Structures are given as structure tokens and as C-alpha cells.
A and B are shown apart, each in its own frame.
Chain A
């Protein structure tokens, strides 16, 4: 619905004055920005190092998982949970890059679809046979499934540990982690051996170029995975009542706010071309906008992200709890994120003269 507002606003100009407005972007500066430099910075300083970091985390998860299944005791469970949390944070830094092999394999659908479907997970465990890469299992794998396996299969830690007396639970846990690890290896290998050169050389302003696709992926990630999934859906923005159980990491119950802040920091760092929050500003959307004489917009976007972060920092560590206790703060955070969406999707895309390549999925 929100979209229609823009559409009608734009329509005003088009209907009223269609003959004078054919530049599309309304941006008078010629685009001399070095897109290759931006793509190179993204690939070499941001994307590939983060995938390597995630891969390292997942290898650790494999080891710690094997230790746990060999001896399911409290100490090994605690250790596994800690690595799960740190790896889930590493994942937040990788999720926006749904391009190349990640897109082909629907990587993010196999890593972080939530809410996870606990009935499907239990059915898979009971059956003992399953294809974790099947589309129908997208909501029975990845970090959310792991969240359930480590925190949600029973009410107390003792009962959880008892579950792992059953070989099928052990096997499912092991298989979940193994799939996440191997998918990540495939994506990483493709970046280092193949896709990096595609990514940094496909810089034309066309619908299919890597630059345009990445710009779209980045905004789509922000709009859907960050704004809607982490805040809007649990906060009830798209439903008649709030849906607290649709928040991230609900079985752990202590990390969803921090995951969201990490994700938002990541969005801002990508925007500024920075490897980490403390790195200097590098080639990226910020510098691109400045090159187009849109310092104003670059500043506005950073300010709006900062404002959204402040709204998120005051939330409960568990966003499910936040929805249940004071959902207004949750929707305020959502509203602050929505302002960023407008800056990205309308103003930044117009400045870059790039078209949106995605639509909101059907409501039915």
C-alpha cells in the first residue's frame, strides 16, 4: 500500500508534465563514479572476508557439535550454544549478499528462514530420512532450526540433554550443521575462484549487471530481511495483531535485539564501504552519492540509520519479549527503519538511476 503513495506522487508529475521529464532519475550530474572500485572494495574487503569468517565459525560449530553429540552433557551443550550465537552473528554480516552462487542455491533460504517449523523438524527426526536441501524444508534448517534444536526441543536443559540420547536427534543436529557448512563453502569457493571477477567487472547500468543487482539485493535485504522479518512481522505491522513468535532466535530468547543491531551496523558499513564500524570510509554507496553531488542524501541516510539504531538499542534483548511487553517501542523502531527504506528505495535509486527489480510478494 505504501508504494501506491509514491506511485501517485510520481504520477502527479508524469501526468501533469510528462513531456518534460524523461531523464528518469532527475539527476543532472553525469555519472562518472568508478563502479569497479566500489565493487572491488565490496568483494575484497567486505564480502569475501566475512564469508571466510563465517566459514571459520561454522567449522568450529561442526567440531563443537561433534563433541556434543559424542557426549551430550551440560558443559558441551553450553559450549555449542555459545558457538551457535557467535556464528549466528557472523551470518548477519553475510545475509545481504544474495548474489552469485548464493542466489543460485537460495543460500539464505537454507540458512535463516524463521519462524522455523518445529512440526516439520520433529517429523524429519522421527522419520530419520529427509532432504534438507528440499524447498519444503527451508523452514526446517539453518540457524532457526539450530535455535530450536539447542534451546527448544524440551523445557529444561536436563530434558534437552535427554533428547540427545536419541540417535535421530544427534544425526539431525549434525546434518543441519553440515549442510550450513557445505553451503557456505560452496558460496565462498565460487567467490574466490569465479564470481569475484564477474562482480567487479559487471558494472554497466543495466538490469542484469552485478552492480545493479547488488544495489537491489542490498535494498531488498534491508526492506525484507531486516525491517520486515526482524521488526515488522513480529510487531504486527502486516497483520491484525502482533505475532511475537515470529521474531528471530525465540528459543534462545536473549539475542534477537543484538542480531538486529549487528545487521543494521552491517547495512551502514556496507553503505559507507567500511569493513568494520571502525574502518575508514571506503568506496561504496556513500562516496557514489557524493560523486553525484548528493552529499545531502548520503548524510540523511547515515542520520536515519543512526536514529533507527537508537530506537533499537532501547528494546529488550529479546524482541519477542519486547512485542509482548511494549509493542509500541517495536513499531517505533520499525517506523525509523521505514524512513531508511524510503531514502534507499526512492531517493538513492533515483540518484543512481537504477530501477527496482523486485516486487513485494503476493499477500495471498
Chain B
């Protein structure tokens, strides 16, 4: 772990210094802004970085996902974890119970996508509510029943592997929920909320940032804080978030590390980290054009994480169908969640996701038709993989390998 920590920070510097001539060719702006080695920003000797609310929500989401695998939980218990009210005893962690934050209110809640689209936002929240409801009412009662087509229950992976708990179509709701949260909470908040002009430059943010007017008693300007909150949804559960090692949660942070491990996408982790640092340094330097370029870089790269993993799990599922159904269902359930998350991606330079809510629903309908994963065809899995890949600069084969 320590080695990796050193790795990201040290390499960030090394890569920039050793190839600075190449990098300069791509600079649109002539600027003297230099990103620090690590995500560390100070004013008068004190840190200006803060994203406690993001860390809290990541940790709440972890407990909810664990709770979905405990059949002694009632629907009310899980619903209360999801829509936590300050002071209620919903979590094992007392700090989470004391928090006034919750996960549900930030599902599909970005300014750019949902401020004027409460209809979709409500429908998306209802989908997560349904994952909880049907897990409790359909899967929990059949916890010890062998699963079969049309019958919820348990099914074991080959090689004495993990036991998976699925609905009648082979879907693990806990996976759909967890991978859906990556899009609906983390990615939507980062790409379509905190990195948006409508948030960064809201009201007098720009004038205040120019004049160094701080946010109340805090040591940061509002604009600085908004950028940090975006950072927090990706790195907020790290032991030392300024020097991320990745794999620090079960959500976006984890899957960035997985995509990084695929040689076809090596470098994506450093690209995202560097863009966050440079964008934040640009805010300090009041170079808003440079800031916005970094936001676009982050939008493209983070969208890519979800697309790569959607295809990867579709292909993993395909490889196990027939021989090891439990492994196939597990992979396809992860794919289901990542596909759901595609509607929260953001095409750089536009106000649009790579796939709309309707397009996402069509993919999911193809997966769930009839008996769902029990009889989905290789052709369907390939077709969806190729359709997703076609919107990005990689092939389904690249995303589906390793």
C-alpha cells in the first residue's frame, strides 16, 4: 500500500518533469499554474481542503450494501439507512448516525441533470427503493432455496466459490444497487454537479474567489470547496486522500483501480489525479479557463471507468454462462449496475450523458427479458458491449480483456 501511495504522488511529478515538452504542446492556455505534487492546498498555513460529507456518504453506502446481504434486515431498516435522519440509530458507525447527511437525497440530484428534471430524479430514486424492497420481499425469504429460472434463491460459484443470492431472473440486487450508486451518487455529483459551471460559478462564487472572500468561517472559498467536494466523491474514503492509493472503497475509487490494472487503460488513474490537482490549482490562481479544461478531462475519463467496467462484466458473464451460472450472474449483476450508471456519464463539451435514461433502460430490458440472465444470449451481451464501446475511443475487446 505504501509503495503505491508513493507511486501516485511521485510519478505525478516524475511524469510531468520528464515529459514536460510533450505536455506543453497540448496546452491551450499559456499559464504558469503548476499543480502541486499531491492534492494539498493551504491558506495561511492551514489546509483549505474539506469534503467530510462525501466521505460520510461513501461510508453510509458501504453499510447499506452490506445490509442488503443480511436477510435479518427488514425493508424499514434498509430504507432508514438509505434515507438516514440525523440522530437515528441506522448504522453501526456512531459518526454516521450523528450525521445530517444521507445517500438517498443525493441520488440523481445534480444541478445540471436533475434540477429541472425531478420526474427522472424521482423515478431513479424509486428504482433504488425497489432494489431494497424486492431484495427483502423476494430474495430474503428464499435465502436458502436453490435458485432456478423464475425462482429467487441462492446459487454457488464453481470451485467451492461464493454463494450468490439472486432474484428469479438471476439478478443480485445488492450488486445492482452498489454499481448503480457509483453512477447515481458519486459520478453524477462529481461530473454533473460539482464540476459544473452552474455550481462552481454559482452566484458570486467567481467574484468571491477572485477577491479571496472565504465561505463563512471556513478557510476556503466556496468555489474551492465545490471542487474539493467533487474530489471527495472519488477519494474521500482514502486513509490519506491527498495521496490516493486506490481500492479504498467499493465504489468509484475501487473501480478506477480496476480499470487502471487493464494494460489497455494504464495511466487513467494518474490522468484523473493530475486533472483534479491542476484544476484546483487553477482555482487558486483564478485561471478559470484552465480549471474548466480539467473538468472536461475528468468528465471524459470518469465516464470511461463506468463504460469499461460495464463491458468488462458483460464479457466476463458471457464467459461463464452455461458452465458456472453463479459466476455469470454475479458478473452480469455488476454489469447491470454499471450499465444503469451510464445515464450519469457526461460527454465532455456537452450537457449530455453518453447514454440517456431511455437508452440505458433499453439495454436493461434486453438483459431482463424472459427469464433474464438464465437465458440471455451471447449475442445480446456482445451487442450491448459493442454499442457501449462505439461511443468511446476503445473497443469492446479492449474493455472486455483483463
Which A residues are closer than 8 A to B by beta carbons?
1, 3-5, 7-12, 14-17, 106, 108-109, 113-117, 135-136, 138-139, 355-359, 361-362, 364
Contact = CB atoms under 8 A, between A and B. Distances in A.
Contacts of A9: 7
A66 B238 CA distance: 59
Interface stretch (B12-20, B31-39, B95-103, B299-307): B12-20
Contacts of B230: none
B266 A1 contact: no
B159 A7 contact: no
Contacts of A17: 18-19
Contacts of B260: 4, 7
Contacts of A7: 260-261, 266
B4 A8 contact: yes
Interface in B27-50: none
21 contacts: A4-B7, A4-B245, A4-B247, A8-B4, A12-B15, A14-B267, A16-B18, A16-B19, A106-B159, A115-B160, A116-B160, A135-B158, A136-B155, A138-B161, A139-B159, A355-B263, A356-B402, A358-B402, A361-B161, A362-B334, A364-B250
A3 B324 CA distance: 26
B324 A135 contact: yes
Given A4-B247, A136-B156, A15 B15 contact: yes
Contacts of B402: 356-359
Contact of A3 (B250, B261, B325): B261
A17 B14 CA distance: 11
A358 B327 CA distance: 15
A362 B330 contact: yes
Contacts of A138: 156, 158-161
Q: Which of A7, A15, A357 has the most CB of B within 10 A?
A: A15
A147 to B, nearest CB: 14
A324 to B, nearest CB: 22
Interface in B252-299: 257, 260-261, 263, 266-267, 270
Contacts of B246: 4
A7 B324 CA distance: 30
B156 A16 contact: no
A4 B11 contact: no
Interface in B139-185: 146, 155-162
Given A7-B260, A7-B266, A106 B160 contact: no
A361 B1 CA distance: 19
